Amino acid sequence: MTNPHKGRTGIDRVIHAAGYSWSGLKQAYRGESAFRQECWLAMLMLPAAIWVGRNWVETALLAGTVLLVMIVELLNSAVEAAVDRVGFEMHELSGRAKDIASAAVLLSLLLCAGVWLAAVWTRFLA
């Protein structure tokens, strides 16, 4: 059995994929308060990465950790939506999936904070 939604190829596929991606970003911004907060922080932190980073590698690392938090948050939201689609009743596997996705967000936040603290420390305080 083939998926009828997989028939697009070439530039037509790229255009539609971009539309789906944009739709996903809008839905995440509207429906996920954590993602909204991270977007606002990113608008401050991404320009700050240019100021804090002493070279392009540091700047890319600082910006990359901010974007990584947002990426992991999107994946966490996708896991939550898929689990909730199945049902809202408590189930061990559903809880495990949501907890593991949440732990991934926590690790990405810790990584981001660690990289930023180290960069700020060496740039301004050391």
Mind telling me the catalytic residues? Answer: 73
Task: Count other C-beta atoms under 10 Å from residue 39's C-beta.
Answer: 15
How far is Cα 8 from Cα 17, in angstroms, rounded to an integer? 10
| 18 among annotated binding-site residues | yes
Q: Is 37 annotated as a binding residue?
A: yes
CA-to-CA distance for 97 and 84, rounded, in angstroms?
Answer: 11
Tell whether residue 13 is among the known ligand binding residues: yes
Residue 126 to residue 123: CA distance in whole angstroms: 7
**Sign of the C-alpha dihedral, residues 96, 102, 105, 111?**
negative
Phi then psi dihedrals of residue 91, to 5 deg: -140, 140
Q: Is 86 annotated as a binding residue?
A: no
Q: Does the annotation flag 99 for ligand binding?
A: yes
102 is in an annotated binding site: yes
Q: Is 8 annotated as a binding residue?
A: no
Residues in binding site for ATP: 13, 20, 32, 80, 89-91, 98-99
Residues in binding site: 13, 17-22, 32, 34-38, 73, 80, 89-91, 98-99, 102, 116-121
Residues in binding site for a divalent metal cation: 32, 80
Residues in binding site for substrate: 13, 17-22, 34-38, 73, 102, 116-121
